[in-house]
Amino acid sequence: ARDIQLAVVAGDGIGTEVVEQGLLVLETALSGSGVGVVTTEFDLGARRWHATGETLTDTDLDAIRTHDAILLGAIGDPTVPSGVLERGLLLKLRFALDHYVNLRPSKLFPGVTGPLANPGEVDFVVVREGTEGPYVGNGGAIRVGTPHEVANEVSVNTAFGVERVVRDAFARAAARPRKKLTLVHKHNVLVHAGHLWRRTVDAVNAEFPDVTVDYLHVDAATIFMVTNPSRFDVIVTDNLFGDILTDLAAAITGGIGLAASANINPDRTAPSMFEPVHGSAPDIAGRGKADPTATVLSVAMLLEHLGLNAQASAVESAVAADLAERGSRVRSTAEVGKDLAARVAG
């Protein structure tokens, strides 16, 4: 077996701290498997922008493309104007590498207490579209700063883009025991995009007749995510609704410190990227306080994406075992990483 060529973008704030632990667990999971990991670190984020004014150059992108996968920590810093790194680096990576499936699983692990009194069994995955919607930057403003300012952010939804993510979501639903797909949108208001999504789901459903389809407007979906999260199996939705829903999903399943994600290019024309859902958390950065668990779970998704299923399960089981015994113990970032690695090593 060939070694994994891994591009590492630790990024800003707690990104470097959690990535260090993610790599430790990754290396531990692979030890003895015959597959190694070769990392290339990319200096991207606030430091680089301050030093050079660059966010992500074509040279960076070309170099990243030669890797099998990307592990990303977090992007964003209060010293950089809002949007510069988000658009110029994180979203640029997702768009340029065609990460049209932004996969965000939510599972309430035994031992984890969330804010819900009676959550029941929570185990669903959000398939968030990753390359379109209001994120594309199709907008503009006129008469800025005047009482007559007009500011537009146009949501772009293409038949091609919607169909490919919907088909991926159906395939994921078909592979799960409950085989249920919920489309979340707002077609009573966003009639153009909403109807495209609805028609697409109906059409692709014909290819997956054993998948049950359900529809919720996004506002109602937020209610059910709190009152009855067990009703969800696979959710498919657009880029912005998916962004919002997955923060709520993280909140009900133990918080953002546990939420993993994968930005997947299912056609494998470019490397997929694995990152915790959380941000750079400048308020706690550099203090060893960040929970690396979300990054470690993202590493499990990375392993699974590369076909290393046994190693992926070992990492997920290590996290499950740690969470089962975690209680309210406070450990540093490095301690959690070390404990998880020890469990993976068995």
Nearer to Mn ion, 98 or 243 (CB): 243
Considering beta carbons, is residue 97 or 204 the nearer one to ligand IPM?
A: 97
Where do the H-state alpha helices sit in the chain?
15-30, 46-52, 58-65, 84-85, 92-96, 159-174, 191-205, 218-227, 239-252, 293-305, 309-326, 333-345
Residue whose C-alpha is closest to residue 14's, from 332, 256, 281: 281
The token pair at 184 is 């979340």
Question: Rounded CA gap, 25 and 21, in Å?
Answer: 6
- Annotated ligand binding at 210? The verdict is no
Q: Does 243 bind Mn ion (CB under 5 A)?
A: yes
Q: Look at residue 336 and give the partner it binds from ligand IPM, Mn ion, none, a contact being a CB closer than 5 to 8 Å depending on partner kind.
A: none
Instruction: State the catalytic residue, choosing from 68, 98, 168, 243.
Output: 243
Cβ proximity to Mn ion, 129 vs 243, nearer residue: 243
Residues in the chain: 346
Q: Which pairing describes strands 133-142 and 234-237: parallel, antiparallel, or unpaired? A: unpaired
Pick from 72, 70, 93: nearest CA to 7 = 70
Closest-by-Cβ residue to ligand IPM is 86
Using CB under 6 A as the binding rule, the residues of this chain from 76 to 95 that contact ligand IPM are 76, 86, 90-91
Q: Is 327 annotated as ligand-binding? A: no
Minimum separation from the CB atom of position 277 to Mn ion (A): 6
Closest distance of CB 147 from ligand IPM, Å = 30
186 is annotated as an active-site residue:
yes
CB of 240 to ligand IPM, least distance (A): 8
Q: Binding ligand IPM by CB under 6 A: which of 18, 234, 277, 299?
A: 277
Is 135 tagged catalytic? yes
Residue 162, binding choice from ligand IPM, Mn ion, none, Cβ under 5 to 8 Å by partner class:
none
Cα–Cα nearest to 319, from 295, 293, 288, 298: 293
Q: Is 198 annotated as a binding residue?
A: no
Q: Are 6 and 70 in contact (CB under 8 A)?
A: yes
Q: How many CB atoms sit inside 10 A of residue 33's CB? A: 13
> Which two three-digit tokens encode residue 230?
């067990």
Catalytic residues: 135, 186, 219, 243, 247
Annotated binding site: 94, 104, 128, 219, 243, 247, 279-291
Residues contributing to the site for Mn ion (CB under 5 A): 243
Residues contributing to the site for ligand IPM (CB under 6 A): 76, 86, 90-91, 243, 277
